[in-house]
Structure 1
Amino acid sequence: MSRAFGMGLGWLKVNRPSTSVCCIGAIAGYTVYCLVADQWIASRRSTLIQKRKQQEHTVSTKDVSSPPPLYASLFIGGRFVNPFDTWRDKTLWDFIKWIVTRKTGNGLPADRSQLHDDLPVVPPHFPLLDAFSPPGARRLHTKEEDPVYAEYPGIESLNRDSQITATWLGQSTCFVQMEGLNILTDPIFKRRTVFSWLGPERLRPVPCQLKDLPHPDIVLVSHNHFDHLDIDVVKALGNSVTWYVPLGLRDWFARQGIYKVKELDWWHESEITVRDVAYKVIAAPTQHWSGRNGLDSNCSLWSSFLVKGASQSFFHCGDTGYCPAFKEVGRRYGPISLAALPIGSYEPRWYMCHQHINPDDAVKIHRDLGAKWSIGVHWGTFMMSDEHYLAPVHDLKAACEKYELGIDEFIAPTFGKTLLYSGISE
């Protein structure tokens, strides 16, 4: 091996000009291949969408036993693609245009201490979370409870069969408890998205660490972008939880030594029994994309997830642009008790609208799902778009007023604050 390596270095020293030409040729060839492949996939996608539209009229709208053709996942040429007319692939020139013309700063104050008031962080209501968890999943906490929970009902009066807790921890990471089930979504607890030294940095510290929370039973992963899937959390939880992921992502988990993984296509359902209680997890469509390293773009699917218990349900959206599939989700599975919907990373609209909804779109999805309550996530954590860092809050309030939503029906929660939803029934 060492001799071969030495021979290779010797060849490079002698053939430096040839090496440069070969490298340039390889890059050019690969670029041409990608452009041709993208054009072929786009053409094939358009053809299949038209074929699905022709098939749509033959499927009964009352039939919920099989997915409607227009809303089934689509796999072409080794990649997943969006099957919706509302999607448009971005080109390299689109990206360059955005980078060159984008606004900077997001309105962030020069004095970062202002963020303490604008984006407050409170610790979760640990006694409440423990009360909703089985003894084996609880954590011991000795800290005095935050006064923000002073008006919450006493632990002894809680009923976990008719109440849901939701704790937003930043980005799309939520800890939700429903009918005795502990649910963690799109987990990321690190300071930056990629590594400790690479990627956008949190505006505010994470409200707590993974070890502070009751142990989750299941983890829902909408897609594999770094700000939605933290490898440190994957390794920490390992096979002690059941992971629900979209098609194509199981192999990535297997490479980390994680095998307790349920890989679901859109509309597929999986039943799980936890502590003798049965639940159903359903994968549903979203309009987005996937990838972690530039070479695996769209090799795995992207998905939302719906968790259904005996009488309550929770919808985890992940990232998405607005598309008609959410009306179909609502038709099949609504009304939904609680939904976590993204409300950030949406400007400029010409570039972001196909992959990220804005607060107005989020309220539309809330209505499409028939959600009783919704919380706005994916904002104020990592700044990866152009809107003002507080715009999601203000725009959500305006959208709720526009569509005449009731007070607290759809809110932008405080980092770390445990919300208690009572009397929810379908």
Structure 2
Amino acid sequence: MEGMTEPSSPSPVIPPAPASPRPVRPVRRGARVWPSSFKDRLTERLPGPADMVRIMREGGFRTGLSGVAEIPVRREGLPGVSRTDTAVTWVGHATFVVRIGGLTVLTDPVWSRRIPGVRARLTPPGVEWDALPPVDAVVISHNHYDHLDLPTIRRLPKGTPFFVPGGLGRWFRRRGYHDVTEMDWWESVPVGGVEFAFVPAHHWSRRGPFDTCRTLWGGWVLTAAPEAGGRRVYFAGDTAYGHRFAEIGERYPGIDVALMPVGAYEPRWFMRSAHVDPQEAVRATLDAGAQRMATMHWGTFMLSAEHLLAPVEEARKAWEAASRPREDLWDLAVGESRVLAPRS
């Protein structure tokens, strides 16, 4: 990955800030002043001590390894694309290689075999690290360990452009990364021929025992300029179901493909505040007005109690029940790619 291009990161376009229902102490982190807490952005109550006691009493998040051999892996390499093509390749979990408008973008990159607290990776990364082209940008949805992986981040050059949620820039700058743009919901930044917009998600953040919701969380909408293909990709990150998807669709109409989580949803009483189930993932995709849905957040790490193959199997059923064309469900194998030609 030598010779990585380093497009400069201009200041984000900042809309008027919404009134906060609860005032919080502002904290200067980097060039901007952020609130000391984003708990006012929560749309669901987070699990508390009583919930943790109950989940342990019910057996935790145990699921067997039955089905591991059936998780599809197709490490076929990255397809050739032009500057006006848009391609997505599923590396595993929430990691995609997105090539759009002539840029190569990584989403929540995790190439590690292990992350804290869970069993080792079930399937290998769909793309070998050394096979990556120069990376033009990295987008991070939030700071949970399965989405922000320090060993993988350390493999990227210090000049790599990172686009991260508000308050999270300090984590990168402390590790020597200097091209870091922190963004609030609904802010956008142009990079080359692509607009990077940070959008809401129904989730939360925590990296340690004392930093719950001190940094923001969200998803990303990448939009190529008409001369760069004109395609629009929505990376949902980690999210529960809620009203934000319709808002995203209203602000960013014509989404070509939604990269949507479908796994880590059982037991439902515990997970519903943080993760969509497959039926909700399809509903969220439709709410956002996306033509296609690419499944993610399954088949890589064991995070919950559903059967390993259930997320993609249930997503297929929900897609069919919604009377959507089968070719518009991108239930990708690990390492598989799909390519969209430029808009006509």
* Same fold, TM-score > 0.5, yes or no: yes
The one-letter amino acid of 1:222's match is S
Give the aligned partner of residue 83 of structure 1.
41
What's the C-alpha RMSD, in Å, of the aligned pairs?
2.3
Give the aligned partner of residue 171 of structure 1.
93
1:67 CA displacement: 6.5
Give the aligned partner of residue 119 of structure 1.
71
Q: Distance in 2 between matches of 1:367 and 1:68?
A: 28
Structure 1 segment 59-78 matched on structure 2, within 5 A: 66=15, 69=18, 76=24, 78=36
Q: Distance in 2 between matches of 1:185 and 1:169?
A: 10
Is the Cα contact below 8 Å between 2:159 and 2:177 reproduced in 1? no
Could you report, residue by residue, the CA deviation over 1:316-368 in whole angstroms, capped at 9, with x for unpaired residues?
Answer: 11101111011111001111112211000001111100100011111111112
Structure 1 segment 18-167 matched on structure 2, within 5 A: 66=15, 69=18, 76=24, 78-83=36-41, 86-102=43-59, 105-109=62-66, 115-116=68-69, 118-126=70-78, 128=79, 131-132=80-81, 159-161=82-84, 163-167=85-89
Give the aligned partner of residue 195 of structure 2.
280
Q: Distance in 2 between matches of 1:181 and 1:287?
A: 28
Structure 1 segment 227-238 matched on structure 2, within 5 A: 227-238=146-157
Q: Secondary structure at the match of 1:87?
A: coil
Give the aligned partner of residue 381 of structure 1.
300
1:289 CA displacement: 1.1
Give the aligned partner of residue 5 of structure 1.
none
Is the Cα contact below 8 Å between 1:82 and 1:287 reproduced in 2? no
Give the aligned partner of residue 269 of structure 2.
350
User: CA 1:73 to 1:424, structure 2 compared with 1: closer, same or farther past 3 Å?
Assistant: farther
1:263 CA displacement: 0.4
> Quick one: which of 298, 308, 323 aligns to 2:213?
298
1:68 CA displacement: 8.8
Q: How many residues align?
A: 318
Q: Distance in 1 between matches of 2:64 and 2:312?
A: 14
Which structure ranks higher in relative contact order (CA pairs < 8 Å, sequence separation ≥ 6)?
2
Give the aligned partner of residue 266 of structure 1.
185
Is the Cα contact below 8 Å between 1:67 and 1:267 reproduced in 2? no
Q: Distance in 1 between matches of 2:180 and 2:114?
A: 26
Is the Cα contact below 8 Å between 2:110 and 2:149 reproduced in 1? yes
User: CA 1:82 to 1:349, structure 2 compared with 1: closer, same or farther past 3 Å?
Assistant: farther
Q: Distance in 1 between matches of 2:21 and 2:290?
A: 24
Could you report, residue by residue, the CA deviation over 1:262-313 in whole angstroms, capped at 9, with x for unpaired residues?
Answer: 100001111222xxxx321111100111121212221110011111111111
The one-letter amino acid of 1:122's match is R
Q: Secondary structure at the match of 1:223?
A: coil
Could you report, residue by residue, the CA deviation over 1:142-198 in whole angstroms, capped at 9, with x for unpaired residues?
Answer: xxxxxxxxxxxxxxxxx541x32111111100001112111100010111113xxx6
User: CA 1:413 to 1:301, structure 2 compared with 1: closer, same or farther past 3 Å?
Assistant: same
Task: Structure 1: give runs of 5+ residues left out of the alignment.
Answer: 1-64, 133-158
Identical counterparts, % of pairs: 33
Give the aligned partner of residue 11 of structure 2.
none
Q: Distance in 2 between matches of 1:124 and 1:297?
A: 39
Q: Is 1:241 the equivalent of 2:160?
A: yes
Q: Distance in 1 between matches of 2:296 and 2:305?
A: 17
1:102 CA displacement: 3.3
With the length of structure 1 as denominator, give the TM-score of the two structures.
Answer: 0.70
Bigger fraction of residues in helix: 1
Is the Cα contact below 8 Å between 1:73 and 1:266 reproduced in 2? no
Is the Cα contact below 8 Å between 1:102 and 1:386 reproduced in 2? no
User: CA 1:107 to 1:423, structure 2 compared with 1: closer, same or farther past 3 Å?
Assistant: farther
The structure whose Rg is larger is: 1
With the length of structure 2 as denominator, give the TM-score of the two structures.
Answer: 0.86
The one-letter amino acid of 2:245's match is F
